[in-house]
Structure 1
Amino acid sequence: MNNFLRIYKPALIGALLLTSLGISAEPRLALEDAIDIAIRGDPWSAQSTQLQKALLDESVVAGALPDPRITLGAANLPTDTFDTRQEGMTQATVGFSQRFPRGDSRYLARDKKKELAESQSFQRENRQELVIRSVTYLWLELWKTQESVRLIESNRGLFEQLADVAEAGYTSTMNGSRQQDIIRASLELTRLDDRLTALHSQMETAQEELGEWVGTDTFRLQVSERIPPNLLARLPYPALDVSNNSVITHASIRATDQLIDAGSIDVELARQAYKPEWTVSAQYGYRDQAPNGQDRADLFSIGIGFDLPIFTGNRQDRTVSAAIARVEAAKSDRMLQVRRIRAEGRAAAARVNRLDERIMLYQQTLLPQMAEQANAALSAYNNDDGDFAEAVRARIAELNTQVDFIQMTAERAKNLATFRYLTAGTAGSPSFSLNNSQD
């Protein structure tokens, strides 16, 4: 038995070394490159820019006076002859009228459009942060499955070598225990293949979801083997203290503030309905000569018109009340947004801190102990002092621990990306810029 083990021992060591190696000739997509592609190719930002331009143009329109009105006519024509000289009041008229909207409604309508246009800037800023978070999530999901596949495929060679050793031992000794070893080794290889199939399915899903943002050939899409250092950084100590005062600088809150300001202007705009709308008109009437050839004086008229908003109960009062209710509803929505961002920020920071504790435990204790246990079990089996099943279980436990460590690392980076989004723009908050972060 020992002769067979001496033959296979170098192969086993080589298989173990493959666990820590990952070589691929395919180009890999770095996170900052994926984010840059997604931001530049996001059609929503272009839509928002065009909408802002439209609102700014509409603000100019809203602040302008209505176009004046010109009227041309013939007045007081005699119906018996239609002779323009027969009657003294027969005249050809040219009229001009100009309407002046109620109170300050023009300026208020202009300011409302400007507030709505300004909110688009904050919405684009928030959209960019959302794109960064979404792409980071998808990139990390692909990284997690990709690295898990790489790790398991590297370990598969080791299990194949163990199966060969068990089969060689069975051929040599022909005892029942070695037959069980062969069955156990074959079973674990089958389970590894099933696990790889499931991971490949997850990886293909992640490739498709990330490919939606980056627009590349998803079949060959692979990401870098290393997570950017900024997503592995530690949180500052007061990270859990996400106060209301710090949350109000978030782009989504500032966009809501702009909408509230626009709603407040809408209230003032509704109050202008209590004021009259004025119209100034002027008319010039040309009169033909009298039948005897005597000239007639032309006529000029001027007038002012206005409406009387005296029945306000079912119109103006209700309009103002509705505008006020909309503003209060927007303020309530803002309050809910602040609470949600604050709670989610604290929750993300708490998850990062707990994952830091687990990752440290894995790095300092669990991973070394699992490796030591697996090596000890394999060494005992090599020396005919241990059970093959125990050696396999120890190696599987080590592999599972390594996969769990990969998943925890990705989960921590996701939560850090969430915390970064929720605290984006906050004064004094930690910066996790993704530009030029990949080494």
Structure 2
Amino acid sequence: MRAVARATADRSEPFADVPPSQRAQWFRGIHDHSSEVGDTRICVSAAPYPPAARRDATRGGFPAVPGPWVDRKLGDFSRLRSAAERLGRVGQGRPADVRRALARAAVGAPGLRASTLGVDAARAAAPAAGRLPDPRLTFGLDGFPVTGPFAGQLDQDDFTMLRIGVEQDVPSRARRRAERDVAEAEIGVAGSELSVARREVQIATGLAWIDLFYAQRRLAALEEVLESLQPLWNTAPAGVASGAYRPANALGPVQLKADLDDRRSSLVAELEKARAELARWTGDNEPETTGPPPQDDLDLAALRSGIARLPILRAYGAAARRADAEVDLARAGRRPDWSLEASYGRRDERFGDLFSVGASVRLPIFPGQRQDPVIAARAADALRVTAERQDAERVVTASLQSALADHATAKDQWLRSRDVVLPNVLQRSDLETASYAAGRAGIVEVLEAFTAVANARLDTLDREAAVMRQVVEITLTYGNDAR
């Protein structure tokens, strides 16, 4: 009877025939190696199961697995923890790769080429501004008789002649100066639009680089976890077959593995999306990221003091200069414009040829109905641009404050996840492993503990990625060109 009871105990619990003191001795290696993550010490187990515990399921005892299973699995667990502890901290290297991506985008982005061509077009048109308009060639038949004795005859009346001449309009000097100012302002507007477009491309490229960088890290972390846990998925069914576990225990690992596989599929899709987005800006077919992310070294004072120099606000300055030039152009309408004419008249030889010169002037005698409404409209446009700039500066200032607050919150959450949550989950996995070694926990609990480690690692990477996205977005949106 005692032998039957002993055999039943062997089949129902791993290490049932091993004294607790011996189990503790086998697993004291759990505390032999430790590393620090933040302020929490993480125990890393490297101790093997004893040879006596490696039994075949047909003999009743530990589930049927290869002899060195525990050695290998504890080594996998150790690598799992080591990988979690190697989660990269911000600011460990130069952001050269990000800069290379930004440089490639600045050269190859079609939108920037279009904006550059806009600047070239404005510069090409500037020399023509303020010039005299093209002269006009005039010609006609003057003094042709249609009644009287010489009706229908070209050579009988001394007033009949063929005339050819040239007319030249001469706008006022104020109008021509205002036209040159408008052309110069258009160059400034086109240049500011190029700066805004370049900044937008930089932001989009930097965010795409960060998305790809962390998509690769998340996928690599999850694949490492899956590889480490691969030998464990068949342990529960083997334990059921040996009588060590209840049949329902074999279903838990199936769900855990399915959840991790679903998350891997999502991460693969995110990786491809991030790669496609970065390729859109850099022009690379298969862009990759190497090296560390940018440094989290936001200079709050410099960011706040540099708001007025941002491209989006400088664009309003260029628009204001163009509006002022258009006001001057409208006011120039009050000045009279001239037109000069010279012509030559060909008559019959009996009467001789004629040469004529003349001038005409435009008379702005009703400015209240013509010029003044246009001037008022252009002046209102100038005031509108000024008001829009003030509003834009307030919007940018509020957006910066909001972005900095979100960044501080996200960074706090990331550090808490990295330094508190992740070490706690790792410590729990250590305890579950120790309990499993002592025969007080099953393989399902171990799998759940290490699945929690995987989720905590991915969550920490998600939070780090969110922080670095904010760093890149704040730096490229509100920083000066030197940064």
| Same fold (TM > 0.5) | yes
Corresponding position: 1:179 with 2:247: yes
Corresponding position: 1:392 with 2:458: no
Give, in angstroms, the shift of residue 327 of structure 1: 1.9
SS in structure 1 of the partner of residue 426 of structure 2: helix
Corresponding position: 1:375 with 2:438: no
Give, in angstroms, the shift of residue 236 of structure 1: 3.3
* Structure 1 equivalent of residue 298 of structure 2: 235
Q: How does 1:206-221 map to 2 (within 5 A)?
A: 206-217=274-285
Residue 54 (structure 1) aligned to one of 121, 128, 135: 121
Corresponding position: 1:280 with 2:348: no
Q: Which whole-Å CA distance do the structure 2 matches of 1:287 and 1:353 have between them?
A: 91
Give, in angstroms, the shift of residue 171 of structure 1: 3.5
Give, in angstroms, the shift of residue 65 of structure 1: 0.3
Partners of 1:248 and 1:254 within 8 A in 2: yes
Residue 200 (structure 2) aligned to one of 127, 130, 150: 130
Give, in angstroms, the shift of residue 185 of structure 1: 1.6
Q: Percent identity?
A: 23
Residue 372 (structure 2) aligned to one of 309, 313, 317: 317
Give, in angstroms, the shift of residue 233 of structure 1: 2.5
Give, in angstroms, the shift of residue 261 of structure 1: 0.6
What stretches of structure 1 of length at least 5 have no aligned partner? 23-28, 291-295, 433-439
Q: Which whole-Å CA distance do the structure 2 matches of 1:415 and 1:286 have between them?
A: 81
Number of aligned positions between the proteins: 407
Corresponding position: 1:270 with 2:333: no
Report the residue type matching 1:201 in the other structure: A
Q: Which whole-Å CA distance do the structure 1 matches of 2:78 and 2:131 have between them?
A: 77
Q: How does 1:149-188 map to 2 (within 5 A)?
A: 149-172=219-242, 174-175=243-244, 177-188=245-256
Give, in angstroms, the shift of residue 407 of structure 1: 1.0
Partners of 1:140 and 1:410 within 8 A in 2: yes
Q: Which whole-Å CA distance do the structure 1 matches of 2:285 and 2:206 have between them?
A: 18
SS in structure 2 of the partner of residue 303 of structure 1: strand
Give, in angstroms, the shift of residue 250 of structure 1: 0.7
Cα–Cα, structure 1 residues 311 and 181, in superposed 2: closer, same or farther, change >3 Å? same
Partners of 2:109 and 2:282 within 8 A in 1: no
RMSD, aligned CA = 2.8
Q: Which whole-Å CA distance do the structure 2 matches of 1:300 and 1:350 have between them?
A: 81
Partners of 1:344 and 1:422 within 8 A in 2: no
SS in structure 1 of the partner of residue 309 of structure 2: coil
Q: Which whole-Å CA distance do the structure 2 matches of 1:379 and 1:103 have between them?
A: 93
Give, in angstroms, the shift of residue 92 of structure 1: 4.3
Partners of 2:168 and 2:341 within 8 A in 1: yes
Q: Structure 1 stretch 308-317 or stretch 132-141: which is displaced more?
A: 308-317
Q: Which whole-Å CA distance do the structure 2 matches of 1:209 and 1:339 have between them?
A: 31
Cα–Cα, structure 1 residues 21 and 369, in superposed 2: closer, same or farther, change >3 Å? closer
SS in structure 2 of the partner of residue 96 of structure 1: strand
Give, in angstroms, the shift of residue 289 of structure 1: 4.1
Corresponding position: 1:66 with 2:133: yes
Report the residue type matching 2:271 in the other structure: M
Partners of 1:8 and 1:165 within 8 A in 2: no
Report the residue type matching 2:249 in the other structure: D
SS in structure 2 of the partner of residue 305 of structure 1: strand
Q: Which whole-Å CA distance do the structure 2 matches of 1:400 and 1:171 have between them?
A: 30
Q: Which whole-Å CA distance do the structure 1 matches of 2:134 and 2:393 have between them?
A: 45
Q: Which whole-Å CA distance do the structure 1 matches of 2:154 and 2:234 have between them?
A: 121
After TM superposition, the score normalised by the length of structure 1 is 0.83
Give, in angstroms, the shift of residue 237 of structure 1: 5.5
Q: Which whole-Å CA distance do the structure 2 matches of 1:108 and 1:209 have between them?
A: 45
Partners of 1:263 and 1:323 within 8 A in 2: yes
Cα–Cα, structure 1 residues 289 and 386, in superposed 2: closer, same or farther, change >3 Å? closer
Encode CA deviations 1:215-273: one digit per residue, 9 max, x unaligned.
Answer: 4445xx5433x433xx232323646x725xx3121112112211111011111111122
Cα–Cα, structure 1 residues 21 and 366, in superposed 2: closer, same or farther, change >3 Å? closer
Partners of 1:67 and 1:98 within 8 A in 2: yes
* Structure 2 equivalent of residue 44 of structure 1: 111
Q: Which whole-Å CA distance do the structure 2 matches of 1:194 and 1:256 have between them?
A: 49
After TM superposition, the score normalised by the length of structure 2 is 0.76
Q: Which whole-Å CA distance do the structure 1 matches of 2:250 and 2:230 have between them?
A: 11
Cα–Cα, structure 1 residues 72 and 235, in superposed 2: closer, same or farther, change >3 Å? closer
CA radius of gyration, larger in: 2
Q: Which whole-Å CA distance do the structure 2 matches of 1:91 and 1:121 have between them?
A: 56
Cα–Cα, structure 1 residues 311 and 273, in superposed 2: closer, same or farther, change >3 Å? same
Give, in angstroms, the shift of residue 76 of structure 1: 2.6
* Structure 1 equivalent of residue 357 of structure 2: 302
Cα–Cα, structure 1 residues 37 and 107, in superposed 2: closer, same or farther, change >3 Å? same
Give, in angstroms, the shift of residue 17 of structure 1: 4.9
Q: Which whole-Å CA distance do the structure 1 matches of 2:132 and 2:400 have between them?
A: 48
Give, in angstroms, the shift of residue 131 of structure 1: 1.2
Give, in angstroms, the shift of residue 286 of structure 1: 4.8
Partners of 1:103 and 1:276 within 8 A in 2: no
Give, in angstroms, the shift of residue 408 of structure 1: 1.4
SS in structure 1 of the partner of residue 159 of structure 2: coil
Encode CA deviations 1:173-219: one digit per residue, 9 max, x unaligned.
Answer: x14x443432222221111112212222222222332232234445x
Q: Which whole-Å CA distance do the structure 2 matches of 1:184 and 1:44 have between them?
A: 52
Q: How does 1:255-266 map to 2 (within 5 A)?
A: 255-266=315-326
Q: Which whole-Å CA distance do the structure 2 matches of 1:11 and 1:165 have between them?
A: 14
* Structure 2 equivalent of residue 15 of structure 1: 76
Report the residue type matching 1:233 in the other structure: D
* Structure 1 equivalent of residue 24 of structure 2: none
What stretches of structure 2 of length at least 5 have no aligned partner? 1-13, 16-52, 55-61, 85-95
SS in structure 2 of the partner of residue 248 of structure 1: helix
Encode CA deviations 1:15-39: one digit per residue, 9 max, x unaligned.
Answer: 33554569xxxxxx94334333322
Partners of 1:98 and 1:280 within 8 A in 2: yes
Q: Which whole-Å CA distance do the structure 1 matches of 2:123 and 2:202 have between them?
A: 28
Give, in angstroms, the shift of residue 298 of structure 1: 4.8
